[in-house]
Amino acid sequence: MDPRLFNAIVVVVGVPGALVGYILLIETLLRGVPGRLQGRIRPWLWLLPAFGFLGVFLVYPTIQTVIKSFQDRAARNFIGLANYEWFFGSSEMVSTLVNTLVWVVLLPLITVGVGLLIAVLLDRVKYESIAKSAIFLPLAISATAAGVIWFFMFLWQPPGQPQVGTLNGILDAAGADPVAFLQVSDYRFNTVMLVIVMAWMWTGFAMVIISAAYKGISRELMEAARVDGATEWQVFKGIVWPLLLPTIAVISTTMIITALKAFDLVYVMSGGQFDTSVIAFEMIQQFGFGQQGRSSAVAVILLLAIIPIMAFNIRRFQAQEAIQ
Amino acid sequence: MSGATDIREGAPPAKRELPRWLTRLPLHIVVIALVLIWMIPSIGLFINSFRSPTDITSSGWWTALFPPENFTLDNYAYVIGRSGIGDAFVNSLFIAIPATIIPVFVAAFAGYAFAWFRFPGRNVIFLAVVALLVVPLQTTFIPLLQLFAPLGWNGEFLSVWLAHTGYGLPFAIYLLRNFMSELPREVFESADIDGAGSATKFFRLAIPMTIPAIAALAIFQFLFTWNDLLVAFVFIGASNPTNLPLTVVVANLVQSTGGGWQYLAAAAFLTMAVPLVVFLALQRYFVRGLTGGAVKG
pLDDT at position B136: 74
Higher-pLDDT residue of A302, A49: A49
The mean pLDDT of A168-193, rounded to a whole number, is 75
The answer on B57 and B195 residing in a single domain is no
Inter-residue contact A210 to A116 (CB < 8 Å): yes
Output the 3-class SS for B137-153: HHHHHHHHHHHHHHHCC
Minimum mean pLDDT range among A159-173, B85-99, B171-185, B252-266: B252-266
Of the ranges A16-25, A30-39, A186-195, which is most confident?
A16-25
| Model-level ipTM above the cut of 0.90 | no
Q: Work out the average pLDDT over B236-264.
A: 72
Question: Around B202, how many Cα atoms within 13 Å sit in the side-chain half-sphere?
Answer: 23
Most confident of A179-188, A205-214, B13-22, B56-65: A205-214
Q: How far, in Å, CA of A296 to CA of A67, rounded?
A: 8
CATH assignment, A90-323: 1.10.3720.10
The length of chain B in residues reads 297
The CATH number of residue B162's host domain is 1.10.3720.10
What is the number of structural domains in chain B? 2
Q: What is the pLDDT of residue B4?
A: 45
Q: Does residue B39 surpass a pLDDT of 60? A: yes
Pick the more confident residue, A201 or A276. Answer: A201
B52 and B96 belong to one structural domain: no
Task: Give the whole-angstrom CA distance, residue A170 versus residue A174.
Answer: 6
Gap between the Cα atoms of A310 and B133, Å rounded: 9
Q: Torsion angle of alpha carbons B258, B262, B267, B269, nearest 10°?
A: 150
Q: Is residue B10 included in any domain, yes or no? A: no
What percentage of chain A exceeds 90 in pLDDT?
Answer: 11
* Neighbour count for residue A115 (Cβ, 10 Å): 25
Query: Residue B71: helix, strand or coil by DSSP?
Result: strand
User: What is the tens place of the pLDDT at every residue in A255-273?
Assistant: 888 888 888 788 878 777 7
Cβ-based contacts of B28 with chain A (< 8 Å): 125
User: What pLDDT sits at residue B10?
Assistant: 47
Q: Determine the pLDDT at residue B83.
A: 63
Min distance A95 CA to chain B CA atoms (Å): 20
Write down the pTM of the prediction. 0.78
DSSP B209-276: HHHHHHHHHHHHHHHHHHH--HHHHHHTTTT-GGG--HHHHHHHHHHSGGGTGGGHHHHHHHHHHHHH
Question: What is the per-residue pLDDT for A114?
Answer: 92
**pLDDT given at position A112:** 93
- Looking at the fold, whether B283 and B211 belong to one and the same domain comes out as yes
pLDDT at B290: 62
Is B162 in contact with A57 (CB distance < 8 Å)? yes
Give the Cα separation of A287 and A274 in Å (integer). Answer: 20
pLDDT of residue B6: 46
Question: Quick one: B243 and B205 in the same domain?
Answer: yes
Residue A233 has pLDDT above 60, yes or no: yes
Who's near B295: CB < 8 A, 6+ residues apart? A209, A212, A213, A216, A247
- B28 pLDDT tier (thresholds 50, 70, 90): confident
The Cα B99–Cα B222 span in angstroms is: 8
Asked if B36 and B120 sit in the same domain, the reply is no
Collapsed DSSP state (helix, strand, coil) of residue B23:
helix
Check CB contact of B38 with chain A, cutoff 8 Å: yes
Query: Both B231 and B112 in a single domain?
Result: yes
Tell me the angle at which helices B25-48 and A190-215 cross, rounded to the nearest 10 degrees.
Answer: 130
Per-residue pLDDT for B9 more than 80? no
Q: Residue A110 — very low, low, confident or very high, per pLDDT cuts 50/70/90?
A: very high
CA pair distance A305, B238, nearest whole angstrom:
29
In a domain, B191, yes or no: yes
In a domain, B16, yes or no: no
Handedness of CA B287, B289, B290, B292 (dihedral sign): positive
Highest mean pLDDT among A110-124, A125-139, B85-99: A110-124
Instruction: Say whether pLDDT at A310 is over 80.
Output: no
Higher pLDDT, B257 or A161: A161
- Read off the pLDDT of residues B114-155 as tens digits, 9 standing for 90 and up: 988 888 888 888 888 877 877 778 778 888 888 888 887 777
Give residue B110's pLDDT band: very low, low, confident or very high (50, 70, 90). very high
Q: Do A57 and B122 touch (CB under 8 A)?
A: no
Query: Both B126 and B49 in a single domain?
Result: no
Q: Does residue B15 belong to any structural domain of this protein? A: no
Give ∠ CA B208-A52-A315 in degrees, rounded to 5: 75
Do B93 and B233 lie in a common domain?
Answer: yes
- Provide the number of CB pairs (under 8 Å) joining chain A to chain B: 343
Contact between A143 and B227 using a beta-carbon 8 Å cutoff: yes
CB atoms within 10 A of CB A165: 23
Residue B25 makes CB contacts below 8 A (sequence gap 6+) with none
- Residue A175's region, left for phi above 0, alpha for psi from -120 to 50, else beta, is left
- DSSP string over B154-176: TTSHHHHHHHHHHHHHHHHHHHH
Do residue A4 and residue B90 have CB atoms under 8 angstroms apart? yes
B151 lies in which domain range? 82-295
Kindly state whether residues B220 and B127 are assigned to the same domain: yes
Nearest residue of chain B to residue A150 (CA atoms): B41
CB contact under 8 A, B229 and A43: no
Higher-scoring residue by pLDDT: A319, B143: B143
B106 and B196 housed in the same domain: yes
Q: Which of A129, A212, A267 sits opposite B295 (nearest CB)?
A: A212
Task: Check residue B291 and give its pLDDT.
Answer: 61
Question: DSSP secondary-structure letter at A188?
Answer: T
CA dist B115 and B174 (Å) reads: 10
Q: Which of B220, B247, B130, B102 is nearest to A148 (CA)?
A: B247
Query: Could you tell me the residue ranges of all domains in chain A?
Result: 3-68, 90-323
Mean of all residue pLDDT scores within chain A: 82
Q: Residue A203: enclosing H or E segment and its boundaries? A: helix A190-215
What residues of chain A lie within 8 A of the CB of B284, using their CB? none
Query: What residues of chain B lie within 8 A of the CB of A62, using their CB?
Result: 135, 139-140
A84/A77 Cα distance (integer angstroms)? 15
In whole angstroms, give the CA distance from residue A182 to residue A266: 10
Q: Which of A60, A149, A301 to mutate to test the interface with B (most CBs of B within 10 A)?
A: A149
Write down the mean pLDDT value for chain B.
78
Averaged pLDDT, B13-42: 79
Instruction: Looking at the structure, tell me whether residues B118 and B219 fall in a common domain.
Output: yes
Helices B207-227 and B264-295, axial angle in degrees (round to 10): 140
Task: Please give the angle made by the CA atoms of A40, A45 and A47, to the nearest 5 degrees.
Answer: 105
Residues B68 and B109 in one domain: no
Question: pLDDT at residue A109 above 90?
Answer: yes
pLDDT tens digits, A128-171: 878 888 888 888 888 878 888 888 888 777 777 777 777 777 77
